[in-house]
Structure 1
Amino acid sequence: MTTTDTTLADLLRLDRHAQDLLFREARTANTFTDEPVTDEQVRAIHDLVQWAPTSMNSQPLRVLLVRSDEARARLLPHMAEGNRAKTGAAPLVAVLAADHDFHEQFHRTFPHFPGAKGVFADDEVRAGAATLNGTLQVAYFILGVRAAGLAAGPMTGYDAAGIDAEFFAGTDRHVLAVVNVGHPGEDAWFPRSPRLGYDEVVTTV
């Protein structure tokens, strides 16, 4: 089958509705309705995205759900000024962090390789692996939010050291992204920005 016989979308296993939901219609939401995001929805998102692949089944992502007014008041001063209002108004805020001590769980997450923990004995190697695989899991989390019929507003405009000190003191967890989650509100989207084309991205050797 070639693209002369069908459209590119028809070459994919997902139906077009699912393709649109997860990718083509995925936008960073900047406003939200006041409809709540339930704990059950968050559990459903985790139940789906936990299966997505990472290197050596590393699972460094840790999710801090900011729901209370007190916790949000602690978070907002560490957000960039342009991100504060929408973070204050979102029904749910998820602080996504990488746990650099993820290797402590390898006896559970990678049981068929008893020596896996030793691979990450070096702090620098472990930190790099936590950041890489945690970032993969951030992307999976955002896709899970979309799969739940919700909108995500991922942000990296914040004081990372401030968030780490505020919420993760005494641990080896480090923020990777802050994601607002909810149903999109009025004028939620900025105009769609262009994407690079296939020939600009893909090289064959």
Structure 2
Amino acid sequence: MTSTLDDNALAQLFTEAHSHVSWQDKAIPEVLIKQLYDMVKLCPTSANCSPARFVFVTSQEGKQKLKPSLSKGNVEKTMTAPCTVIVAYDEEFYEELPTLFPYADAKSWFTSSPEAAYETAMRNSSMQGAYLISASRALGLDIGAMSGFDPNLLNETFFSENKWKVNFLINLGYGDGDKSHKRLPRLTFEQACKII
């Protein structure tokens, strides 16, 4: 793969894409949610560890379960979004490594070091969440990523019976472009980057 995406594709993914807080009343088909994951799972992670776990909250019952853990400023935008994705990580992601990375005893890298397991899970699930954002845009969806929530309450509500832990949230759907905010400033290359 050596070709560059055309300007329209780059605009959809990056240059003209916005985070959304207002949504059209339009459901996301389940087949599209599955297609989205099928794209995300192919993206790279350290030793193919794939620690991210995704909960696609689309029902009103699910939204009501989620609501108490949201910060006040995130309630309306989340309740009106067609889908809210809980981007989580599996604390015991390494249990899948004999299948996902059969080239070495990668499981032992993490069973012997809880710190390495946590750092790897957080770092790589964050990357997988970012892949989900790009894949969503590629499939014609809009996103609004959020970190304003009570993680302890959310984990207790959704993950009390497994070893998953929340990383961040993404509202997903078809944005109302008339109500999107103007793009905020970004750091320049000189402010954020070095070439050495």
Aligned residues: 193
The yes-or-no answer on 1:54 pairing with 2:45 is yes
Q: For 1:84-95, what aligned pairs fall within 5 Å after superposition?
A: 84-95=75-86
The one of 118, 121, 144 equivalent to 2:108 is 118
Query: SS of the counterpart of 1:187?
Result: helix
Query: SS of the counterpart of 1:134?
Result: helix
Q: For 1:1-205, what aligned pairs fall within 5 Å after superposition?
A: 13-113=4-104, 115-121=105-111, 122-185=113-176, 187-205=178-196
How many Å apart are 1:68 and its aligned residue?
2.0
Larger Cα Rg: Structure 1 or Structure 2?
1
Gaps of 5+ in 1: 1-11
Query: SS of the counterpart of 2:179?
Result: coil
Cα distance in 1 for partners of 2:83, 2:193 equals 37
Cα distance in 2 for partners of 1:26, 1:176 equals 23
Deviations 1:155-174 (A, max 9, x none): 10000111000000132211
Deviations 1:45-80 (A, max 9, x none): 111121111111110110111122222111011101
CA RMSD after TM alignment? 1.3
- Which letter maps to 2:108? G
Cα distance in 2 for partners of 1:203, 1:181 equals 34
- Which letter maps to 1:118? S
Deviations 1:147-202 (A, max 9, x none): 11010111100001110000001322111111111111253311111111112222
- Which letter maps to 2:61? E
Query: SS of the counterpart of 1:195?
Result: coil
Deviations 1:68-121 (A, max 9, x none): 2222111011101011011111111111101111100001111122x1100111
Cα distance in 2 for partners of 1:140, 1:188 equals 25
Query: SS of the counterpart of 1:28?
Result: coil
Cα distance in 2 for partners of 1:52, 1:128 equals 19
Cα distance in 1 for partners of 2:193, 2:63 equals 42
Cα distance in 1 for partners of 2:67, 2:28 equals 19
* Bigger shift: residues 185-194 or 119-128: 185-194
How many Å apart are 1:125 and its aligned residue?
1.2
Cα distance in 1 for partners of 2:31, 2:12 equals 20
Where does structure 1 differ by over 2 angstroms across 4 or more consecutive aligned residues? none
Gaps of 5+ in 2: none
Scaled by the length of structure 1, the TM-score of the pair is 0.90
